[in-house]
Amino acid sequence: MTGTTNPNRATPVVAVVPFERVPTTAAKVIAAHVSGYLNLAAETLPPRTIPPDTLDPGRLQYNAASLIQAIEAIPLKNYFKVIALFDVDLFIPLFTHVFGEARQNGRVAIVSLFRLESHADGSSPPSDRVLERVAKIALHELGHLLNLLHCDDDRCLMHFSGGVDTLDQTTFNFCRYCRTALHRALRQGGPVTKPP
């Protein structure tokens, strides 16, 4: 990849797509965080139905890789990146579940509210906490779409969170190192206005 930008390329827009019963508020909160933290335009699209054959009949969870593949095949204009939002349980083989998943440097990330709607002890958090969690996951997965790797700094958004407790400790912040990598990726991937 070269560091040159194409002056004819349109302003990159991130699409947030809710699937089925996902509350619109959650999609809008994600879009607001994407534009607020990454200075990218973000659009919330109308809800869609979950692609068939992505439910694993044995696990009764949705296969994250199959979902990403199915969404990549949906003709969605020329969006720079797509964040698909679900309220069903997602998994990848070897893991009991995932909060979200994205292919490194890919176009489509998926995020689910399913595991974010309860605390580790099973009690229910207030709804603003759930929205905060889903926004953190979305920014983390978008980081992967911009080719960022996991970060050792446990306050950074690119830190890997296996549980809601660690996720709650993460701040709404990319560390210095990740922020530099993000800005580099955005310069290469699409023209943006000055980094914040």
Q: Which residues form the catalytic set?
A: 141
The nearer residue to Zn ion, 159 or 189, going by C-beta atoms, is: 159
- Least Å distance between CB 148 and Zn ion? 8
The nearer residue to Zn ion, 41 or 139, going by C-beta atoms, is: 139
Stretch that binds Zn ion, among 13-21, 48-56, 75-83, 151-159 (CB under 5 A): 151-159
The nearer residue to Zn ion, 130 or 151, going by C-beta atoms, is: 151
77 half-sphere exposure, CB direction, 13 A CA radius? 11
Q: Per rule CB under 5 A, is residue 151 in the interface with Zn ion?
A: yes
Helical (H) or strand (E) element with 142: helix 127-145
Q: How far, in Å, CA of 133 to CA of 174, rounded?
A: 15
Stretch that binds Zn ion, among 54-62, 125-133, 155-163, 180-188 (CB under 5 A): 155-163
- The residue among 110, 97, 144, 125 whose CA lies nearest residue 30 is 110
Q: How far, in Å, CA of 72 to CA of 50, rounded?
A: 13
Q: Per rule CB under 5 A, is residue 175 in the interface with Zn ion?
A: yes
**What are the residues whose beta carbons fall under 8 Å from the beta carbon of 89, sequence distance 6 or more?**
60, 61, 62, 97, 112, 114, 115
- Least Å distance between CB 29 and Zn ion? 20
- Least Å distance between CB 140 and Zn ion? 6
| Number of residues assigned to the chain | 196
The nearer residue to Zn ion, 43 or 153, going by C-beta atoms, is: 153
Q: Give the residues lining the site for Zn ion (CB under 5 A).
A: 151, 153, 156, 158, 175, 178
